[in-house]
Chain A
């Protein structure tokens, strides 16, 4: 056997066996869904073996067609078979399966999978190389699929969380924007949205102000009981939320803050402060104290020193702490259910009762809007970060 990897070809038995095994695996899922497990496995294995043999023959140059043409042929064959069995939806699924198997069979048969890898790798190492990638991608898909499934469902023309036959057949009447209309015109949702948009920024401003001050104070070496104060300040993050919420409820009730906007903002600020303290403390570790001494030796008072020297340098920590505080308030449902009353109903509260009492797809529309907003926010933050990095790179020193 030659070790020049460009011409490496696995044994025919390996190719056919592996593709047949994958076919059997796919058949297992299909068969399980259709209720005939054994038939699915056998049919999948046979189909896989046939595709494997075809790819093998192609790799040995027995067919006068290009690899791309052969792959397309498999896709079309699979899709046609799927259509013949169960219509358009299964044609799409079968076409995708054909796409995968056509690519996979030729990829194996031609030995392409060895290209780009070090030639001295043992088969086991090659196997692990690809298994590792499959695992990584599976985790990503596992994390992201629930979010992606929500998006098409939010355009459902029905009032249920169901992919209707019309939707699966991609017909226009299966889709509708009515759940978005409900979100933007229903006073309940609008009130909740505006409450959230009022409460979250206010809570963020308070958290950032207090959290930054606390972090700066606590990073001074001469402050007594630093560890204890720190532990108390970040306790809202460690104590189970329901306990903070119940405690706040009874305390705020007694002092007349329960059921007021101020109460909800204060409660959310208390939850957001630990995030700001932690991120700002982390950035302060890299902060050179001689800069503040230099500033005061030049006559700047502490406030000027903070805003002109220290603040710009620790800004990344402040901003990311602020983001966390904002998201905490924006996502929070437990504390607001206790501390707020129905007039302070926030978006998560409305989603929570909506899910419990009516399971309306409006929730999916809201979720889609929120995901879109999050993506935009993260993109903006990332762009700003790159811009500031670029600017810093250009400035001298």
Chain B
């Protein structure tokens, strides 16, 4: 009840007089994110404008999203929650919500409605995959390749399945050192229909079939553990093609002018967003809710796309996506959700993975060690 009252107050103050009730809110906020170009897009689109409206507010950024789950567990056990807002992938948000480490939110109460009056719940739509998850962006895991290493007289790769074709495209590959995405691609490219992939992965034969398909390129594959590795390996010419998050590839291609092309087909969609840790003191919670209300509105999500090529999670933000902040190129064609890039897409089944992750992780790591 109290929380609702505060957030209602916060909503009012945001509309009427931003500084009037500032005394009830903490004047420091620790936000956890992924670092790199992604985090700077959040600083530029969300926290800098918010700080401009709220004098004296201090925002500390912590690049610890990769360990968000384990660190939040430790903080809750130690009874000392030091984070105010955490950027996590959808699958982690589901886990944190199940464990009670993230706070449940009410989209219509805590998030701003679209400018045309559509409620937040409808505007975010399917992206609200968990009661605790505040969606921010749609990103995809997709493939980049060296344009100057494509053999003469061969069409450049266009699809994730081309990674398995070592005859046509010789050279090393880079794949994520995790079963997620790799297992789906392996089955799909081995002829399993899109709808049947997760059903097949539930059977032992399906898992073996996927690993066998991956086995055909195992000797040519470098397994990455940090998302910056694939662009690095591509830039140094050590691999011909590799999977990476599309924003990282965009940065290497457009901002750093590397000879890299994108193979969009069967890109793997995933979601990223905020969670608020459970058990924050009242003044900090009020501050975070005020910030989230601001940072996830239609305009702010569209603004973020000026700095990095991830698609905004709100339907109403899409028409507002404009040009890159410094390069001045249109961002829409670089979005994973652009119709030209999204002919064949694979939507990651978070719920399925939440149930099967431990099992498949073990099998995949054992197979890697063979």
Contact = CB atoms under 8 A, between A and B. Distances in A.
B82 A259 contact: yes
8 contacts: A162-B235, A162-B237, A246-B74, A250-B78, A254-B78, A353-B63, A358-B36, A358-B228
B259 interface: no
A161 interface: yes
B35 A353 contact: yes
B66 interface: yes
Nearest to B237: A162
Contacts of B256: 158-160
Given A341-B62, A359-B232, A258 B80 contact: yes
Nearest to B225: A356
Q: Interface size class for chain B?
A: 20 to 34
B368 interface: no
B82 A356 contact: no
Contacts of B61: 342
Contacts of B236: 160-162
B62 A358 contact: no
B37 interface: yes
A288 to B, nearest CB: 50
B235 to A, nearest CB: 4
A341 B78 contact: no
A328 B296 CA distance: 43
B237 to A, nearest CB: 8
B232 A161 contact: yes
A358 B245 CA distance: 13
A388 interface: no
A254 B235 contact: no
B194 interface: no
A249 interface: yes
A158 B60 contact: no
A343 interface: yes
Contacts of A160: 231-232, 235-236, 256, 258
Which bucket holds chain A's interface residue count? Answer: 20 to 34
Given A158-B235, A162-B235, A341 B36 contact: no
Interface in A249-283: 249-250, 253-254, 258-259
B34 interface: yes
A357 interface: yes
Interface in A322-359: 341-343, 353-359
Given A158-B256, A160-B232, A160-B236, A357 B80 contact: no
Given A254-B80, A357-B227, 8 more contacts: A162-B236, A246-B74, A342-B30, A353-B35, A354-B35, A357-B36, A357-B66, A359-B228
Interface string B70-107: 00001101111010000000000000000000000000
Contacts of A159: 235, 256
Interface of B: 30, 34-37, 60-64, 66, 74-75, 77-80, 82, 226-229, 231-232, 235-237, 256, 258
Contacts of A342: 30, 60-64
Contacts of A359: 226, 228-229, 232
Interface string A159-171: 1111000000000
Contacts of B229: 359
Nearest to A345: B62
Interface in A201-221: none
A336 to B, nearest CB: 13
A259 B256 CA distance: 36
Contacts of A355: 226
Contacts of B75: 253
Identify the interface centre among A341, A355, A356: most chain B CB within 10 Å of its CB. A356
Contacts of B226: 355-357, 359
A278 to B, nearest CB: 32
A82 B229 CA distance: 34
Q: Is the interface of A mostly helix, strand, loop or mixed?
A: helix
A121 to B, nearest CB: 47
A366 to B, nearest CB: 16
Contacts of A246: 74
A258 B74 contact: no
A250 B232 CA distance: 37
B63 A249 contact: no
A308 B236 CA distance: 60
Contacts of B231: 160
Contacts of A158: 235, 256
Contacts of A259: 80, 82
A254 B77 CA distance: 10
B35 A358 contact: yes
B228 A357 contact: yes
The CB with the most chain A CB atoms within 10 A, among B35, B37, B75, is that of B35
B60 A358 contact: no
Contacts of B235: 158-160, 162
A305 B36 CA distance: 56
7 A-B pairs with least C-beta separation: A342-B62, A357-B35, A253-B78, A253-B80, A160-B235, A162-B236, A358-B36
Given A342-B62, A356-B228, A358-B228, A249 B74 contact: yes
Nearest to B35: A357
B158 to A, nearest CB: 25
Nearest to B34: A357
Contact of B77 (A250, A258, A343, A358): A250
A244 B62 CA distance: 22
Contacts of B258: 160
B361 to A, nearest CB: 20
Nearest to B235: A160
A253 B79 contact: yes
Contacts of B63: 342, 353, 357
A113 B302 CA distance: 74
A343 B29 CA distance: 11
Contacts of A161: 232, 236
A193 to B, nearest CB: 17
A249 B78 contact: yes
Contacts of B64: 342
B181 to A, nearest CB: 19
Nearest to B258: A160
A301 to B, nearest CB: 46
Nearest to A163: B236
Nearest to B37: A358
Contacts of B82: 258-259, 341
Nearest to B226: A356
Contacts of B79: 253-254
Contacts of B62: 341-342
A133 B75 CA distance: 55
Contacts of B66: 356-357
A158 B256 CA distance: 8
